[in-house]
Structure 1
Amino acid sequence: MTADDQPYGAPHAAGQREAERDDLGASLRGLSLLSSARLPLPEVLTRIARYAVQAIPGADGAGLTLLEHHRSDTIVQTADFVGEVDAIQYGVGEGPCITAARDAVTVISGSIGADPRWPRFGGRVARLGVHSAISLPLVTPDEVVGAMNVYAFAKNAFDERAAELGEVFAVPAAVAVQNARVLEDARRLSERLQRTLDERMVIERAVGIVMSRSGVEEGEARARLTRLSQHEHVKLVQVARTLVEEAARRARSRPHERPLD
């Protein structure tokens, strides 16, 4: 069949598919650069959500939920309306993202307001003018690390092609999300260790001040600080910090001795 013999609309369809491939490729390239960007976790997740909007045809906005161990989940969005939709979803405890993360399957709806799977969620979201959703679980070999929600105002905005592109994008997106979580966990651990070290140094300085002022041994100085902490119902490090800061103020307020001529 020659180009002239092709059905009407075929060149447009071919051009559209090429554009979709280009958008997907650009999104995947963006994902590949995130690991070296050294950005805060919410910014990394937001960028992944933006790449999803670019990669999935028909999308008007997207949100991403990172499932956190022993902490509240981290939720980001690319547009304000997405935040409203996700607030409803998590408020009522049902919706496409929750289903996708729970069942580890891609979830599509072309008429959210009439979708029987989420009766409490659907009507409220439809009143916002949002009618289509595609939610993709972010799955690694070990676990489901989160889910990506892509929304559209139009009805039936997402077809099998959108689902196919979304699933292709979701594979490296899950890896990027997992890497971001690992880096964030390492940063949080480093900060906790630094705080612990700083607190120990403050306590040791306070112990030294008590020893110098009272002429007692280290054990007794530490015991006095502990008793003061218990009496005032504050943490030991707070007592120590107050003592150290007071000593520093006193030192600054003393007149400087003038050298002898």
Structure 2
Amino acid sequence: MNDNSQFDASPAVSGPSTDPATVFAALADIVYRGSSAEQVYTAICNAAPLLIPHCDHASLMLMQHGKAVTVAASDDIARVVDDIERATGEGPCLDAITSEAAQLETDFQTPTQWPAMARGVLNRTPVRGAMGFRLKVNEHKVGALNLFTDTPGVFDSDTAGEAIILTAFTAVTVAAMMNGQEASTLRGGLESNREIGKAVGLIMALHDVSDDEAFALLRKSSQDLNVKIADLASSVVERHSKASKN
């Protein structure tokens, strides 16, 4: 069972509802209600299991002084997996930071491109699959959103496609934190559809499709989750604008 106790950084997030639109709206509220970066990042990690099918744990890595640091996690299991990646120097989350494509491991029990990490994960955690998604801010690779499952074989390209929406939101959020929550800076990036463009780029790399096909897939995932990524981004900026005036 997922430990989402830290997800109550905002009262709007806590409770039994897992409606995606409600969860995303609550996350946007957390970003701009004056919460600390740690609270914001933890809320995103705790939201991941509510939004992404089969996701049991999540973490957020950001680059600090040339090293990938876990700045938040849904639980200790996610932190242990991150520790194993750093100790072995390999894994989907570390590779995601440098790669345009989402990094996917469906089953650590089968032959993997990250054998040292797989051994550590199998020995120390219940995790059996993982996905990593690169985060970029102002064209700089700043980190990765990492998702983990305890069930082998359930993470696939369709699951990754749904996770890209949360990745785009996370990129918006990290940009806000790094820019001191300056609405004008964030608004400029969103008006140019930069985050939507990044999401489309991730889908293109994930599915090996054209930009038109990628946008169609993003739109379908948004509809499946009852969330429009452009509306979500706009709501984030609007909430911050109102918070700045208070």
SS at match of 1:157: coil
* Shift in CA distance, 84/169, structure 1 to aligned 2, threshold 3 Å: same
* Rg comparison, structure with higher value: 1
| Cα RMSD (Å) | 2.3
Deviations 1:129-148 (CA, angstroms, capped at 9, x unpaired): 21011111123452222211
- The alpha-carbon deviation at position 72 of structure 1 amounts to 7.0
Matching residue's letter, 2:71: I
Identity %: 25
Out of 23, 28, 31, the position equivalent to 1:27 is 23
Are 1:169 and 2:166 an aligned pair?
A: yes
Residue of structure 2 equivalent to 1:102:
98
Out of 139, 147, 152, the position equivalent to 1:150 is 147
State the number of aligned residues.
164
* Shift in CA distance, 143/31, structure 1 to aligned 2, threshold 3 Å: farther
Structure 2 runs not aligned, ≥5 long: 1-17, 182-246
Question: Matched residues in 1 for 2:112 and 2:126: separation?
Answer: 18
Aligned 8 A contact 1:136 1:149 in 2? yes
Residue of structure 2 equivalent to 1:61:
57
Mapping 1:79-228, distance limit 5 Å:
79-127=75-123, 128-183=125-180
Displaced runs of 4 or more, over 6 A: none
Aligned 8 A contact 1:137 1:146 in 2? yes
SS at match of 1:75: strand
Question: Matched residues in 1 for 2:117 and 2:96: separation?
Answer: 15
Structure 1 runs not aligned, ≥5 long: 1-21, 185-261
- The alpha-carbon deviation at position 71 of structure 1 amounts to 7.7
Structure with greater contact order relative to length (CA < 8 Å, sep ≥ 6): 2
Give the TM-score taking structure 2 as reference length: 0.60
Matching residue's letter, 1:120: A
Point out the structure with the larger helix share. 1
